[in-house]
Amino acid sequence: MTAWTYIGIFLAIALALPAAAIFISWLLGPKKPDPIKRSVYECGIETVGDTWVQFKAQYYIFGLVFLVFDVETVFLFPWAAAYNQLTLFMVLEAILFILILVAGLLYAWRKGALEWV
């Protein structure tokens, strides 16, 4: 019985509790659908065209910058956890690693990738 067993049990319960609550309320509530009630909401007028439209490329750029930093922090967490055993040289090395990524951030910044247009 490791701690991970508990995590597994807890995740199952965390999913089951809201699902059960929604199911119970579905049993309790009235079920009287009609076409007007089921129509898609859009400021009182009928929706035009497909919902799943094209969207801005800007989201992808932020997604890419995020990916770089998320991977960076994944590398940094083991370093931070072992921080007390590190020598000054190893700390400086990690700082160099961070600074290279800061240069990347500055490049994205100068290129205007961080502007919301």
Partner 1 sequence: MDFWTDPYLFLVNWLQELLVGWGVPAATSAFLLMLTGAFILAMGAMLFVLGLIWFERKIAGRFQDRFGPNRIGPWGIIQPLADMLKIFTKEHITPDGVDLVPYNLGPVLSVAAVLAVWAVLPFTLSLVGADLDVSVLYVVAIGGLGEIAVVLSGWGSNNKYALLAAFRSVAQLLSYEVPLVIALLVPVMLSGSLSLNDIVRGQTLPYVILAPVAAFVFFLTSIAEVGRSPFDLTEAESELVAGFNIEYSGLKFGMFYVADFLHAFTISLLFAVLFLGGWQGPYAVQYPMLGLLWFFLKAGVVYFIGVWMRVSFPRFRIDQMMAISWKLLTPLAIAAVILTALIAKLIPTDGILRTGSLLAANLLLAGCAMLALILNRKKKILKEFPLSAASGFSVKDVTGKTQRSAQ
Residues that bind partner 1 (CB under 8 A): 1, 3-7, 9-11, 13-15, 17-19, 21-22, 24-26, 28-33, 35, 37-43, 47, 51-53, 55-56, 59, 62-63, 65-66, 69-70, 73, 76-77, 80-86, 88, 91, 94-95, 98-99, 102, 105, 109, 114-116
In 3D space, the residue among 106, 60, 100 whose CA is nearest the CA of residue 76 turns out to be: 100
Least distance between partner 1 and beta carbon 51 (Å) = 5
Integer angstrom CA distances of residue 62 from 56, 76, 103, 110, 112: 11, 21, 16, 14, 11
Least distance between partner 1 and beta carbon 13 (Å) = 5
Least distance between partner 1 and beta carbon 15 (Å) = 5
Task: State how far the Cα of 58 lies from the Cα of 98, in Å rounded to an integer.
Answer: 25
Task: State how far the Cα of 74 lies from the Cα of 107, in Å rounded to an integer.
Answer: 22
